[in-house]
Amino acid sequence: MTLYEKTIALYPSLTNKDFDTVITLQNDSDGKGDYIAKWEHPTLAKPTAEQLA
């Protein structure tokens, strides 16, 4: 399951617009995988590492 899929499973109300504006998932193609580069959602808290594990 990708980071995006885990995030959507945690917060099903998120939309593509959220990922255009207040949330950025990023992968630097360095072998370290996907990560949350920006989380500025006005009401939903940034997922913890435990929630995404």
Residues contributing to the site for another protein (CB under 8 A)? 2-5, 16, 19-20, 24-30, 34, 37
CB of 22 to another protein, least distance (A): 13
Which residues are CB-neighbours of 3 under 8 A, at least 6 positions away? 25, 33, 34, 35, 36, 52
Q: Which is nearer to another protein, 10 or 34 (CB)?
A: 34
Q: Which is nearer to another protein, 27 or 51 (CB)?
A: 27
CB of 28 to another protein, least distance (A): 5
